Amino acid sequence: MRIGRVLIANRGEIAERIVRACRTLGIESVVAVSAADKDSLAAQRADRAVCIGPAQVSESYLNQDALLAAALGTGADAIHPGYGFLAENPAFADACERHGVTFVGPRGETVRTMGNKLAAREVAERYGVPVVPGSAHIARYEDAVKIAGDIGYPVLFKAAAGGGGRGIRIVHGPDELRSTFEHASAEGAAAFGDGALYLERYVAAARHIEVQVFADRHGNVLHLGERDCSMQRRYQKIVEEAPAALIPEEARASLSESAAVLTKGIDYENAGTVEFLYDEDRGEYYFLEMNTRIQVEHPVTEEITGLDLVAMQLQVAAGDPLPVTQDEVRFTGHAIQCRITAESPENGFRPAPGRIVDWRPPEGPGCRVDTHCHDGYLVPPFYDSLLAKLIVHGRDRAEATERMRVALRRFKVTGIDTNIDFLAFLTAHPDFADGRFTTSWVERQLSDR
Amino acid sequence: MELTHEDVLNILELLEGSDVEYLELAAGGTKLIADRNGAGPGIRTATGERPSAEPPPVAAPDSEDVATQPESPQVGPGLVTVTAPVVGVFYRSPEPGAPPFTEVGESVAEDSTVGLVEVMKMFNGVTAGASGRVTEIFAENGAFVEFGEPLLTIRPESAA
């Protein structure tokens, strides 16, 4: 099956990124835009833009019928969902298939299984991938008491239907268990329509390590190395790097192997990311979740492998075999990405949409900027605050870090507030250079400041 | 019980003469939502099937040049432009073979239905939004239209 025309069901930098991948492969691109994004960079660079609805996401980028109508109406044979929005919505993947439009991603059933944390945890265990010591579904408070006692405090309650850091509550001791159990259950029911909970050991010194995987429908599976995304604020990644040079070599190898086994086991197709928690104190890693889409931080993997992951997504979706074998994958140097956002760190990271006056991204060797912004661009208030991804590549982590520092200094944006100075502070910190940081490091810096 | 297209039109007509601001009606596989305060079209109907036989042929998208963007038509001063309330396929008549909702030169009331836009089997009524005479119709029957795309223009009649 050939893909000749792709509808891009997303916005911002990733829409522009997908347009570029389409151009590389000689595929026509149609970008679906809301009324607020009609003049976006992706709209200008795509072969065609189609306005699918007003600015509100429920009427545009989350409107499955409008997106399908746009795909069918423009003769697109595939839909690339990017990340966020409908990228991990199994009903949308199914609807695409029903209407004969190729969904650039895994099958709907895979998205459904891996989107449920409990189901995903069970699948991981089935394939021998270590999971955080904890429970399956907790039905009664009495069960929680016993399991929490077995695991040892502190423990975490997690909503089965949660994700992206939402629906997680920490319990420090037995006295907090009942109230937290009740709160977390009610919260899960309200936020996700599902009050099901499970318990996990709370890992105090944790690193977030994830493995990029790729699989085609001919049974070929690749792992493209790890990324360390431990620099987080409120479970949102800020700085990402590849490879995960700060954990022991044996752990890295074992983690990648686990990810590949899981990917193969579930008969996965297309790009995916298996996320792990690495426990620094115990030297163990545990499966967290699998993201069944392209990740925001995919460029660091592209930089160290020289592969175009978005183009590979389109090739695999078209039924082509993966363009490389595991033996042919070469890792070169070290890459770091910073997420540049329209946020005001001085005001509690309040979103700061508005009109950009001057947009001066840095240039130079080993420096890449994925963005949809330009001079005079109006950052709309309806969407997330990501403005750009600044990616640097160096021979080793030290060179990459130095390049990132220089690039951030040279990144000039006027007209709106950004987090550039905050990123400069983080990456210039001795703990960053020394690799002495875990997932709670950023929050600690903020409370110390 | 299934609502026929005629039922829907009758209900809408009844609503037009009433004070009802919002109506949601589900019967069988058909759902009808009418909202006078909605920002979009005045009337939104959802049915499982387009009533009656084959839909009119839609220009085969494959043969279409992807670069063909809808041109913004020149609209004269004082004219009201009616735009597509949703992305989808535009129909000028309530069903294949039936006379169009309106023609150039005909007069329409503010709440007249002047077309339908189909989104994945969901038919959305397009209301005139102004009373007056239709001066031009841009979108052809069966054409793919974008959200906000101009469909026709109306020269409003003086309120006096």
Q: Examine the domain organization and report whether B35 and B97 are in the same domain.
A: no
Closest-CA residue of A relative to B123 is A65
Q: Residues B56, B84: one domain?
A: no
Q: What is the pLDDT of residue B36?
A: 57
Q: Residue B127 forms beta bridges with which residues?
A: B113
The total number of structural domains in chain B stands at 2
Domain harbouring B101, CATH code: 2.40.50.100
B55, B98: one domain: no
Q: How far is CA B8 from the centre of its chain?
A: 14
Q: Which two tokens stand for residue A238?
A: 């800020």
- Residue B52 and residue B24 in one domain: yes
Chain B hits for A49, Cβ within 8 Å? 69
Single-letter residue type at A357: V
Does one domain contain both B23 and B91?
no
Supply angle C-alpha A317, A322, A325, rounded to 5: 160
Residues of chain A with confidence (pLDDT) below 50: none
CB-based burial label for A280 (10 Å; 0-12, 13-18, 19+)? middle
Query: Please, are residues B115 and B91 in contact by the beta-carbon 8 Å criterion?
Result: yes
User: Can you tell me whether residue A252 is helix, strand or coil?
Assistant: helix
Answer yes or no: do A75 and B67 touch at CB < 8 A. no
Cα–Cα distance, B34 to A218 (Å, whole number) = 50
In contact, A314 and A270? CB cutoff 8 Å:
no
What would the mean pLDDT of B96-114 be, rounded to a whole number? 96
A30 to chain B, any CB pair closer than 8 A? The answer is: yes
**Domain membership flag for residue B35:** yes
Residue B116: inside a domain, yes or no?
A: yes
Let me know: does A348 contact A23? Beta carbons within 8 Å.
no
Q: How far is B66 from chain A (nearest CA, A)?
A: 6
Helix residue spans in A374-448 (DSSP H): 397-410, 420-428, 430-434, 441-448
Please, are residues B144 and B70 in contact by the beta-carbon 8 Å criterion?
no
Q: In this predicted model, what pLDDT tens digit does every residue of B3-39 receive, in sequence order?
A: 556 666 666 666 665 666 666 665 555 555 666 554 3
pLDDT at site B10: 63
Q: Find the closest chain A residue to B39 by CA distance.
A: A54
Residues B154, B88 share a domain: yes
Domain ends where: B41, B68, B95?
A: B68
Task: Check residue A64 and give its pLDDT.
Answer: 98
Task: List, as ranges, residues 18-77 from B with C-beta within 8 Å of A.
Answer: 39, 60-62, 64, 66-69
Same domain, B146 and B97: yes
Q: Which domain holds residue B146?
A: 80-159
Is the residue at B75 inside a domain? no
Question: Same domain, yes or no, for B144 and B92?
Answer: yes
Amino acid code (one letter) for A124: A
A5 in B contact zone (CB under 8 Å):
yes
The better pLDDT of the pair B126, A194 is held by B126
- The answer, for A98 touching chain B at a CB cutoff of 8 Å, is no
Strand locations in A313-353, DSSP E? Answer: 334-341, 343-344, 350-351
ω into A380 cis (within 30 of 0): no
Backbone angles phi, psi at B62, to 5 degrees: -65, -35
The closest of A318, A298, A263, A295 to A104, measured between CA atoms, is A318
Which of B15, B125, B87 is CA-nearest to residue A66?
B87
Pair of tokens at residue A210: 């994830």
* Residue A65 distance to chain B (closest CA, Å): 6
Sheet holding A367-371, edge to edge: A284-291, A270-279, A206-215, A221-233, A236-242, A334-341, A386-394, A367-371
Identify the pLDDT of residue A240. Answer: 98
pLDDT in tens, A253-301: 999 999 999 999 999 999 999 999 999 988 999 999 999 999 999 999 9
Asked whether residue B74 is domain-assigned, the answer is no
Looking at residue A134, its pLDDT comes to: 85
| More confident: A91 or B78 | A91
Q: Is residue B50 part of a domain?
A: yes
Name which of A5, A50, A75 is nearest B87 (Cβ-Cβ): A50
Would you give the end-to-end CA distance of chain A in angstroms? 56
What contacts A286, CB < 8 A, 6 or more positions away?
A130, A131, A132, A133, A203, A276, A277, A279
Closest among A291, A281, A308 to A237, alpha carbons compared:
A291
Confirm whether B124 is domain-assigned.
yes
CA A197/CA A161 separation, integer angstroms: 8
- The three-class DSSP label of residue A385 is coil
pLDDT score at A289: 94
- The reply to whether B91 and B53 lie within a common domain is no
Q: B144 at the A interface (CB within 8 A)?
A: yes
In this structure, the answer to whether residues B84 and B153 fall within a common structural domain is yes
| Nearest CB partner across the interface for A65, out of B61, B122, B148 | B122
Tokens standing for residue A399: 């060179």
**pLDDT: which is higher, B71 or B100:** B100
Residue B73 lies in a domain: no
A51, A60, A75 ranked by CB distance to B62: nearest: A75
Find, among A400, A352, A391, A353, the residue nearest to A370 by Cα: A391
Is the domain of B135 the same as that of B85?
A: yes
Q: What is the DSSP string of A121-150?
A: HHHHHHTT--B-SB-S-B-SHHHHHHHHHH
Task: Quote the ipTM score.
Answer: 0.84
- Give the whole-angstrom CA distance, residue A168 versus residue A160: 10
Query: A415 or B157: whose pLDDT is higher?
Result: A415
Residue B117 included in any domain:
yes
Residues of A marked as catalytic: 293
In this prediction, residue B46 carries a pLDDT of 42
* Partner B contacted by A274 (CB < 8 A): no
Domain edge (last residue) among B18, B40, B68: B68
- The number of helices, as runs of H, and strands, as runs of E, in chain B is 1, 11
What's the confidence (pLDDT) of residue A218? 97
Q: What is the pLDDT of residues B111-123, one digit of tens each?
A: 999 999 999 999 9
- Same-domain status, B19 and B57: yes
Encoded tokens for A176: 């907090």
Q: Are B151 and B115 in contact (CB under 8 A)?
A: yes
Which DSSP helix (H) or strand (E) runs through A319?
none
Closest to A364 measured CA to CA, from A333, A401, A403: A403
Cα–Cα distance, B25 to A72 (Å, whole number): 29
Residue of B nearest to A32 (CA): B146
Q: What is the pTM assigned to this prediction?
A: 0.84
Q: Does A44 touch chain B (CB under 8 A)?
A: no
